[in-house]
Amino acid sequence: MPATMVSHDKLTATEAARRIACGNLTSEALVEACLARIAAREPEICAFAALDPSVALQEARACDRGPRLGALHGVPFVAKDVLDTADLPTEYGSPIYSGHRPRADAACVARLRAAGAILLGKTITCEFAGFAPGPTRNPSNLAHTPGGSSSGSAAAVADFMVPVGLGTQTGGSILRPASYCGVIGYKPSFGIVSRAGLKLASDTLDTIGLLSRSIEDIALFADVLASREPVPLEPLAPRRIGLCRTFLWDEALPETRQAVETAAERLSEHVEIRDLVLPATLHDIVATRGTIDDYERARALAYEWHHHRDRLSPHMAATVERGLAIPHARYVDALRSAASARALLPSLFAGFDLVLTPCATGEAPRGLDSTGVSTFQGLWTLLHVPAIGLPTHRGPHGLPVAIQLVAPLYADTRLLRFARWVADRLEAR
């Protein structure tokens, strides 16, 4: 294969969409390449909860025959299996819902399909987007966790099975598996993407986002999900970046510390970097997020708890019991604390366009019994701000390590433009 040629399964969604629009690539050829990759690698990776190649190819051929539907015409994607789909089973990672067939797509899936995208399959999730691991393995090293709970989407994208995946984040369920698997994870501002058709875990925290190997792909799909007119992603230089090690810095492993410090050093050659120290009033924010998560998750699973308790994993059963034991007054106090923390955001971001902060504690841990720790992501999830993880470094075992970039609430488009600028500076050396 000539050096200038890239196999179809290695294409970014942005490049694939351009080639399809120009008539230089068919959707059928693209989907066939992805399915061939899945057939070759899925027995080891175990990324998929549901897959129907015949339906995906049928939709691809229809795209090739029919009129152009939108910016994503003919481009495949996958959806985490807590998002409803009308033509594939949706089992939420639980035996309780084995064979469950919703009657409608989740709003996010429907938005992407309306723009011409093709749902390739459903990806493995931890049970009800919690912490009980599924069978998915990390493509970088099969002996290590891919993270969770968007395990399958992260692994499928990292292994070139598909260019883009939908994920969800309640604590760190997009950015952590993205970091562990070496792809880009994006959690939008809370509420930007409709959650209709999502099996809800936490009404205060759940956010639908994206995983991809390309920032441009993230921007393209994010525009469609947010009903924005897709435009080419232009890098934007921040005026000042806040280096926020957070009060969790002692939990960061050496590879994460090196990733953050090295990124800050390199970026300081181009832009002003200043330390951003979180006020002491935010030091309880991780515990606050945990209280809200446990309380709301326990009540979101009321039906499953009362009718199928014996089919919940021990981990989920313990989570529900813990949540049910939380008094309502303590939950309300946690909501108030979260609201107070968010009220500090304007002052926190004063003078900063962007925040550079740790993404995960380190590279993916060895073993498949745990999906890792979500504290570095959960902090920003509770604050509802947009965040993106960029895999910029490698750990001691050669596994990916990401940095996390955070922007003010609703500054999602600027965050993606900043991220492109940051990535360009870090990749230049």
- Tens digits of pLDDT across the chain (429 residues): 444 567 999 999 999 999 999 999 999 999 999 999 999 999 999 999 999 999 999 999 999 998 999 999 999 999 999 999 999 999 999 999 999 999 999 999 999 999 999 999 999 999 999 999 999 999 999 999 999 999 999 999 999 999 999 999 999 999 999 999 999 999 999 999 999 999 999 999 999 999 999 999 999 999 999 999 999 999 999 999 999 999 999 999 999 999 999 999 999 999 999 999 999 999 999 999 999 999 999 999 999 999 999 999 999 999 999 999 999 999 999 999 999 999 999 999 999 999 999 999 999 999 999 999 999 999 999 999 999 999 999 999 999 999 999 999 999 999 999 999 999 999 965
pLDDT digits (tens, 9 = 90+) for 243-253: 999 999 999 99
Does residue 255 sit within a domain? yes
Catalytic residue among 80, 122, 187, 199: 80
Catalytic residue among 94, 173, 212, 313: 173
Same domain, residue pair 276 and 370: yes
For the chain, the distance separating the N- and C-terminal CA atoms, rounded to the nearest angstrom, is: 28
Name the residue range of residue 326's domain: 285-341
* CATH code for the domain in which residue 211 is found: 3.90.1300.10
Same domain, residue pair 329 and 372: no
Instruction: Check if 313 is active-site.
Output: no
Does residue 95 sit within a domain? yes
Does residue 233 sit within a domain? no
Instruction: Count structural domains, the chain.
Output: 3
Instruction: Check if 122 is active-site.
Output: no
Does residue 391 sit within a domain? no
Closest CA to 72 of 36, 35, 123, 108: 108
- Residue 372 has which token pair? 């890792």
Stated pTM of the model: 0.97
Question: Which pLDDT score, from 0 to 100, does residue 3 have?
Answer: 40
Same domain, residue pair 352 and 418: yes
Amino acid (1-letter code) at residue 272: E
Whole-angstrom Cα Rg for the chain? 20
Catalytic residue among 94, 149, 313, 337: 149
pLDDT digits (tens, 9 = 90+) for 325-374: 999 999 999 999 999 999 999 999 999 999 999 999 999 999 999 999 99
- Residue 202 has which token pair? 């936490």
Three-state DSSP at 388 gives strand
Same domain, residue pair 111 and 151: yes
Instruction: Check if 80 is active-site.
Output: yes
